[in-house]
Structure 1
Amino acid sequence: MPDVLIAEVAARVPDSLGAYRGSVVAGSGGPGARPLTALQDPAVFDATLAAFGAGFGAVDRRILVSYWSQFYFAALATPALTALVCLGRALPLAFEATSLELDDAGRPARLLVAANAAQAPCGVAPGLGGLVEAHLAPFVALCHRQCGLAPRVLWGNAAVILDHVAGELGVELGRNVSACAEIAACLGRGAPPCGSGGMPLARALCPGAGGCRRRRVCCLRSGLPGVPSCGALCPRECGAGAS
């Protein structure tokens, strides 16, 4: 059952990623939970972003959605990659079978999967490439349709967070060798991924100064009041430092 698998995954999440240890759960969630497919309705999408956007006033909607997506990807990436790296399993996180619950500030807090789903992942092929095709690609397409945000910005957001989570899980140490090699390839750290599943992520980051990796495209978050840029990860910051 998914709840058993999810509990096992939560137990393997390292303390450094503990903020998102419980970000995937089995069940229907609270009264505010809504299926991800419902976000295809512009009115539902707007309502979902309302509380988050209220804290920033009148801002470019594309910037707001980009920043909101970073919280979304963190909630998704931590348990999803932990399952792959530590257990060699994919969580049942197909986009059309997943619901979303927000915290009080309107940030994505928990992704909900059906408690009675089969233990085998619903519509999710093995590996990070499977998650890209079954969940990330539909989510990126949804955000692009609803606000016009360029997909490459969203793929950059996803790649940065997945790359960070992979590092915290010790992907490069070779634990669960086949899963780690596939994740590294999808994130552009190894041989090119087989098929097209991981290619948007593999193209999203490039080498930066001091051996770190940076985005190819700015996430725009510094356009929000009170929100700093992402520092060395930002191509604008990197360009400014080199001039």
Structure 2
Amino acid sequence: MAGDASGEVSTSNGKEGFIANPAFDLDRLVEKSPFSYCRGKLLRTSTGSGSVIPCSDLREAATLNDVISRYASKFPGSDRRAVVSMWTLYYFSILTVAPCVHLFAHRIGLPLGLSQVSIVCNEDTAEPEAFLMTADTFTAADPGAELHNLLLGHVEPLVEAIAAHAVVAPKLLWNNVAAYLAWILKEIAYKHSRERVEDGLALLDEPIWPDGRRNPMHGMIRIARQQCGLEFSRRKICCLRYNLPGVGGCGEACPVPDGRQ
């Protein structure tokens, strides 16, 4: 596939999934696809609404605590750990879902290192809404390697900072990442093919990453079976969202009975 300046995609080199020209419209690529929910999540220019926070600033205690305090205003008196976890669910969903669609379905690489992007949050509640990129997209010859870079260069340092400043277990945060990653990779596999996302699934499932390091997401998503025999995915660690007023539980995906309501 090759992309022109308008974002139109056409086959030009006979190699499926390869984009030779990085000048394309990300939203246009997905607007009429099964992944249209990815529109508006990865921005090149600010929309002028919401507050824009450099993602690297979230490693600073003052910035992170200000964001979480603003978000906590939605849930007065609630368990702060649940508030933090819920905020990261929004954050990590945006960081994994749309990028994986572009990586594995379109072979488009995205500049999403922690120092390369800002998070656009709701002006009042600081709820994450989109990422604002400061660099251009590029051809992703190895989507699995690019996803690995995203996990090492963005997720890992942010998880360390949130765990340190917000007193939330790193395992809970990694499980939040794994939940969305498992879901979107399976969606891409269903709409395209499993072969297309095998490298991504390996980063999720294998105990050791390609660089020889222990995979912090290994075993975080487990396959369970209902009495009727139907299989479904279940988290290893509860995200605590059921402790927040007005927020529903995760159903069968939750490892805690109270969270399945």
TM-score, with length taken from structure 1: 0.82
Q: 1:64 aligns with which of 58, 77, 83?
A: 83
For residue 32 of structure 1, report the CA deviation from its aligned partner.
1.9
Counterpart residue number, 1:40: 59
Rounded to whole Å, the distance in 1 between the matches of 2:209 and 2:241 is 29
Larger radius of gyration between Structure 1 and Structure 2 = 2
> What is the DSSP-based 3-state SS (H/G/I as helix, E as strand, rest coil) of the residue aligned with 1:76?
helix
Q: 1:206 aligns with which of 222, 227, 242?
A: 222
Cα distance change, pair 172–133 in 1 and its aligned pair in 2 (3 A): farther
For residue 58 of structure 1, report the CA deviation from its aligned partner.
1.7
For residue 55 of structure 1, report the CA deviation from its aligned partner.
1.1
CA contact (8 A) 2:249 2:259 kept: no
Higher mean displacement: 63-72 or 46-55: 46-55
Counterpart residue number, 1:185: 202
Rounded to whole Å, the distance in 1 between the matches of 2:200 and 2:38 is 19
CA contact (8 A) 2:109 2:146 kept: yes
Rounded to whole Å, the distance in 2 between the matches of 1:197 and 1:89 is 26
Higher mean displacement: 11-20 or 97-106: 11-20
Corresponding letter in the other structure for 2:66 = A
* Structure 2 unaligned regions, length at least 5: 8-21
Rounded to whole Å, the distance in 1 between the matches of 2:132 and 2:260 is 41
Higher mean displacement: 21-30 or 218-227: 21-30
Cα distance change, pair 91–56 in 1 and its aligned pair in 2 (3 A): same
CA contact (8 A) 2:222 2:235 kept: yes
For residue 157 of structure 1, report the CA deviation from its aligned partner.
0.8
TM-score, with length taken from structure 2: 0.77
For residue 226 of structure 1, report the CA deviation from its aligned partner.
1.7
How many residues are paired up?
234
Cα distance change, pair 157–167 in 1 and its aligned pair in 2 (3 A): same
Rounded to whole Å, the distance in 2 between the matches of 1:239 and 1:57 is 20
Counterpart residue number, 1:108: 128
For residue 39 of structure 1, report the CA deviation from its aligned partner.
1.7
For residue 198 of structure 1, report the CA deviation from its aligned partner.
8.1
CA contact (8 A) 2:242 2:258 kept: no
Deviations 1:167-225 (A, max 9, x none): 222268536x4x5111111222x796533578222331111123211111111111111
CA RMSD in angstroms comes to 3.2
Which structure's relative contact order is higher, taking Cα pairs within 8 Å and 6+ residues apart? 1
For residue 36 of structure 1, report the CA deviation from its aligned partner.
0.9
Q: 1:98 aligns with which of 101, 104, 117?
A: 117
CA contact (8 A) 1:133 1:197 kept: no
Identity value in percent? 24
CA contact (8 A) 2:109 2:138 kept: no
Rounded to whole Å, the distance in 1 between the matches of 2:179 and 2:235 is 7
Corresponding letter in the other structure for 1:185 = A
Counterpart residue number, 1:222: 242
CA contact (8 A) 2:204 2:217 kept: yes
Structure with the higher helix share, 1 or 2: 1
CA contact (8 A) 1:172 1:184 kept: no
* Structure 1 unaligned regions, length at least 5: none
Cα distance change, pair 147–239 in 1 and its aligned pair in 2 (3 A): closer
Structure with the higher strand share, 1 or 2: 2
Corresponding letter in the other structure for 2:244 = L
Rounded to whole Å, the distance in 2 between the matches of 1:46 and 1:142 is 11
For residue 72 of structure 1, report the CA deviation from its aligned partner.
0.7
Q: 1:194 aligns with which of 202, 207, 210?
A: 210
